Structure 1
Amino acid sequence: MKFVKIKCIIFLFFTLVQVISLKSQENCEALLIGDTVNLSVSGYNGSIQWQQSSDCIIWTDIVGFVNENEQYIVNYPVGEKYIRVKITNSLICEYSSWFGDILKLKVINSTNDLQVGDRFHGGIVFYINGLGEGVIAPQSDQYSEVQWGCFGTNISGASSTSNGFSNTNAIVTGCATRPIAASICDELNLFDYSDWYLPAIDQMEELYIQKEIIGGFTSELYWSSSEVSANNAWNKNILTGESSPLWNKNQSYCVRCIRSFNGTEENKKTFFNCIVEDPQPLEITAQPTSMVVCKGDNANFFVVISNSLATFQWIKDGEPLLDSINSYISISDASAIDEGIYKCEITDLCSNSVTETINAELNVIYLEVDAGDPYGLCTSDTYLTLHANTISSHPFFSGEINYLWAPSYALSSTTISNPIASPSVSIEYKVYINDEVGCSSFDSVFINKQNIYNDQQICVVSFDKETGKNKIMWVPNTEVGTEKYIIKKQISPFNFYSLGEVLSGESPIFIDYTSNPSLGSSIYKLSVIDTCGTESNIVFCEYHKTIHLDLTMEGSDVACLTWEPYEVQYDSFIPEKYYLYRGSSPESIELTDSIDALSNFFCYTEVDGLNYFMVATAREDCAGEEGSRYLSFSNIVDNSEYVGDNEIIIDSEFSVFPNPADDILNIRSTKINIDFSFNIYDAMGIEVFVKAELVNEIMKIDISNLKPGVYFIEINGEKTSRKKVVIY
């Protein structure tokens, strides 16, 4: 329901009349239980009924309040309370009463319920201490140009920086000059209060902090009651907050008095006077207008009518909008669902007639830009064309689209939809667009300049006990556009060939199944192929050389190990130690000792029976991978050729005997018929061919046609193992 715009003036009546501004009225009038509100109305033409409400929605008549002057004593319950006047005259308005403006009250039990910003007993509460005590300031200055007074005289008791009341009493007692800043407040009787005083400098600081709530400051500089010396007193700049003790007391500045309250505050009176005008015939003076807004913006339709008692109902696309019953309708965060035709039905409550506004259309622009998916720019590519694809839900209203690309680096233009980009490094471009309405959007696209990565390095190469072959290990770099890794093996000095490849994302380990670790060391490098198909130059990859271990016996019980050291090109990794392993079988081999890496020779004494040996070194923090530890193992050697007719145990599944052998070499296992094969190689790694037959789970190999010397037997079961045998 629309109420008539009236002229309402709120008064706090003590000895003077206080006019309450609209801003102050919004702060609400705080009143204690027992305070009195003197209600009055003028300019009306009809019968009177005062009403009250606790929520400003449901109103009830105040029994007996039918006169233009009434005294309303504030009572329980505490909380918000509203008062208005209802005027009724069927000759003027046949179907409805009309109303005055609303007085909003905040009813409190005690001063403990007050908050900063409340209007209360003489002004605005700007400080409270939580104990029901606080300080109030009026909303206007008390004097614009006045001296502090008594220049050259030291006023005893006026130096407090926090107690303006005691300072003021001391000043008016010790200084006879009038008027001065302190006497202005001491003699002030405002709203029937005579306990005003000039604030101390600390209290002036609180005034400065709450100056926007208090309001009414007309100057920059204000006196405090805090004296510094016979010639100076503290002054406050209310605009900047700066306090200064250097101002001469004979200079003239503004005064804003304050008063304190506590839990014993007395009840007082408040005046509320309304001037009510008669309703006028309905006339629309401003129609709602069509709007075009951007998605997420706010849209507002409003209608202005003459001073008439009326109700409003907004309609969208022919359907009434729930709760849209004011002279305006606000649409926040507008989207496509809010688009449509709006109009307002206005009912004149005096004549009960309905008037419709003209139609107003709301269009909501949804503007979007797509800069595309990430691009990959290969080493051989010098440029590419960017594309900003723009979509507007209302192209007609959007009109011309403006573009701005950032950063401008390597772009042919920053203000077109499809600039040419020629970056030499990877970069992210953002495109910002806006239309003629002011709608905007942005998107980004990443350009990955795939310069070939030449820094990929091997961590270690090692003998792999599971397969009996060499393995190559590295730490992959996942941020350089690598598609796969190519493992290279040296076949002659400076001549490497490709062994195989590992795709990016797979385990960074490669087994060289062509290797014969027992025959000697091997040298490896690594290259990468990026997603553009370009391969890195292996010149930049340092080669790694495996450890090759040999064994000799000195006497019958001293086994001496000699090995080719682990080697990395350019000495970028130099082993610090070598770790020595020994066991009665390949599976039971374990660490027994370590020596400084300056040596590549070690002897075990008291070697009894068949023994197996291995050497290793360790590399820490490979490729910057903190906390990593990579071990490089040598091949496994044994002393079987020195221990006579002994049986060689291989992986707990196979045994080879005798060693050394003459005409027949035997392989024994319960798994000999299950996926089993063997090969024999000479010392040069060339496979030799022999005949064999299976007799009672023993594979008997005829070696009578082989020349005496050292050979290697390779047994392929669930895994591959290689052992040295001697034929004499």
Structure 2
Amino acid sequence: MTSASFWARQGILAVAIIFTAISASAYPGGRFGSYQAGCGGFGCHGGQSANTTVTLEGPRTLRTSQQGNYQFIVANANNDYAGFNAAFRSATGNVGTLVAGQNSQAQGGEVTHTGPTQENAAGQVVFGFGWQAPADHGTYTFYGAGNSVNYNGNADNGDVWNTTGGITITVQGATITSPAGGAAICVGNNLTINWTQTGFANFRIDISDNEFNTFTTIVGNVAATAGTSTWAIPAAQAAGQYKVRLWDVGTAAEITRSNAFTINGAPTITTQPQSKTICEGSPWNISVATNAGGATYQWRRNGQVIAGATNPTYSQTIATAASAGTYDCVVTSCGQNVTSSAAEVTTAQSPGITKQPTPVTACQATPITLTVEATGTNLTYQWVKNGEPLTGKTTPTLTIPSAALTDEGKYACRITGVCTPQAISTEVDVNVTEAPGIVTQPTNKNVLVGDSIVITLTTKGETLSYQWLKNGNELPGANQATYRKTNVTLADSGIYTVRVWNSCDTITSSNSIVKVTPKAGPGLLTVSSESIALGEWAACSAIDTTFVGLVANSGGSPITITAVTTNASSIIELVGVTVPFTLAPGSGRDVAVIVRPGQVGERTGTITFTTASATAEVDVTVTGTDALSTTTDTLTLAASTSGAEKCAQFSVDAACEELTITSVELTGPGASTYELKPGTTLPIVVPSGSLRELCFVTTAADGGVATATITSAAGTASVVLRRDVTNSVDDVTNNGFAVYPNPATTELRVARTEMVTSMVLVDATGRSVFSFDPAGRPEVLIDCAGFARGVYILSIVTPAGVRHEKVILH
């Protein structure tokens, strides 16, 4: 090459020169789109010339995706510079991937020069590039155009170009079209392998279930152009997932492998369905897995086919109680089936509260109980107070053994189970009422007549009520924590207490002793109470007591007691009282006495205090009660015989020193058939703490019921005497009669009287006070309101005999 044109100096491709009517354009940075036609149709200077040679050096055969390195050489003896444009083509367009190299650049599936390139020492302009073959095998065409320029700065005919024409490039490869991925073929059937290929002569076909770490050759040599081959799968072939590959016999290299497919034999279950607990109302599923691709499935519940359940996984969107049962799955493949193991599915319920806790108001130190009731499966409970869990409170019933004020709050119970969601009970209030308590006790007061008294105390507790008392008697209107009284008199002297209470408890303060002293004036004889009641005592008891401050001088001057007397010395005995004695103003004196009731019933005695100018009396009342008692209320003597004997033991009340039995009286319809045992001598002394015995004998072979009344000065006792009638009492008892209440007050009931023919109630004298024929009635009511107090005999007559019951009315 001896000269360079203007256009070559601009780096223009021969295939890319464009003239206009008044100007020319150059392509010093490369030219695209001219690889096949060269400069034809573009108005290039010069034209196509055989003097410009274009040559492609590089591989004509590649494997799919393999990169080949190429040189495009342009030469012309008359020019020193050149450019080029090239591409690899399929029927539809550019293919593969071009990689820029020596003096080249790649863009849009084409390659071109980076600028005007000068020839080398051999007179050649060399452009280098790489091409990565496409993934699809086949034959492709290379097209290239080279432009040789004189680089003289002028657009003249010295710039000439040429093209390579189509150069065939073979891209070797193969594609297995069957078996398709995921296909399933049973042992004993034919496996057909189909493929397409380019550039190979012979294949070996292998099969493997482990990505060809190991393999079996199933076709040793087959013409690559055959495109298909068949292999009979042996019956002993292990089931599993496989791939086949094509192996080039000529180069001893793997060409391609198929996607995975399955060879099935008799199905084998690889994952059994699992037993489980499911929650009602929630979705659930159960699964089975097998090594057999393309297998069919049929789920069963309790041995019955589930319609439509033909997938490896059986599911329900909402579990119900009917979902529970025994599930298995029949798996079928290659004409054979296998049944999975059975899985037990049980249903569970979410927690649901059926009974809410209720608010509680409790007293301090008393127990508190909150209860919740719920349904659900495997429930657990957690009580919370003010939203915070209570340690250890994990049962349906929350118990606080002794409520404290700090236990007040809002309580609820959180209930969880196998299934969600948890249930939370209604939040309820627990209120603890503080019990009454006295912080500061009332104190004693000493005042003068006409002054005021103020007695107070401090308390604790909620919603307290007050009641002040003087000498144990309530003071009307004194209902505050402080008791006030103005212009006091001597009568206001006494012992003051206050009763404090609320719904939880009642307490009484300690004593506040108020002493009112006269300012001046004569003495005044007074007594602390004009009437004293001692209540009930055994008639033979001696009540040794002291009346504190019974007599007093409420005046302003001393007084002298000249006499202290009683009107009934047998009831009240003064102890240690010596007269005369003097009482200073405002002072008092205790009086010791012994009170003896002496007999049954109310007794009253009077103590009289006498001065020179006045007297004062105190009535003392006591009620004597029976002091004699017996260890048995009925003696049953042998029937049909005279001289039968039974004994009863008697004792005296512990408050008595002794008691004397003075008489024994027999009354009733059978009184003449009994007597006190001959030789018994009255009176009989019964010491306290000892027992004395009275015995009775029958005087005739048969007789009715009688009452023995034992009398003493301190009361009476009675014993019912009756005959033992064989088969009568037991038969009546077995009929289940019931007599109640006993003792009775205003009425007596006899139940289950359907078999009774008649009944009679007689008093201790044998007088009938009630008789009745039940006539099949189930119960009889006896009105006792008008009967005298004492012992009665109820005789119940049935066809089987007579039953006698002792009845006490009081």
Higher relative contact order (CA 8 A, sep 6+): 1
Q: Same fold (TM over 0.5)?
A: no
* Structure 1 or 2: more helix by fraction: 1
Which interval holds the TM-score relative to the shorter structure? under 0.3
TM-score, normalization by structure 2 = 0.22
Larger radius of gyration: 2
